[in-house]
Amino acid sequence: MTPAKTAQVEKWQLRLYVNDQSPRSGIALANLKEFCETHLKGRYHIRVIDLRKHPKLAKGDQILAIPTVVRLLPKPVRVLIGNLSDTERALVGLDLRLAGKPE
């Protein structure tokens, strides 16, 4: 498989840091799932981390606010804070606009 083909099928690794009790966190998860289903169908994995249950996990990705999405793969790492209600900002921030388009 060529490098270009490998990049196209690479599974996106996303972490969503939330406070499970927060309505903003629920909105962020719903929005992130919608974006991924639209632009990355079958090519993504979202790990949801509830910082009320696992506060020490925030240190590794330097989480200062919640909800926060961290895109681990593909590189480079990208971080987006908020509930992802601003669709254009979220798509640009996570580079999802380009992910759905063939090269």
Domains of the chain: 3-99 (3.40.30.10)
CA distances from 98 to 10, 39, 73 (A): 14, 9, 14
pTM for the predicted model, two decimal places: 0.82
- Residue 40, pLDDT > 50, answer yes
Average pLDDT of the chain, as a whole number: 86
What pLDDT, on the 0 to 100 scale, is given for residue 103? 40
What pLDDT band is residue 9 in, cutting at 50, 70 and 90? low
- Residue 31, pLDDT > 70, answer yes
CA pseudo-torsion sign 56, 57, 59, 65: negative
Q: What crossing angle do the helices spanning 87-94 and 23-39 adopt, rounded to 10°?
A: 60
- Residue 100, pLDDT > 70, answer no
For 54-81, the pLDDT digits (tens) are: 999 888 888 999 999 999 999 999 999 9
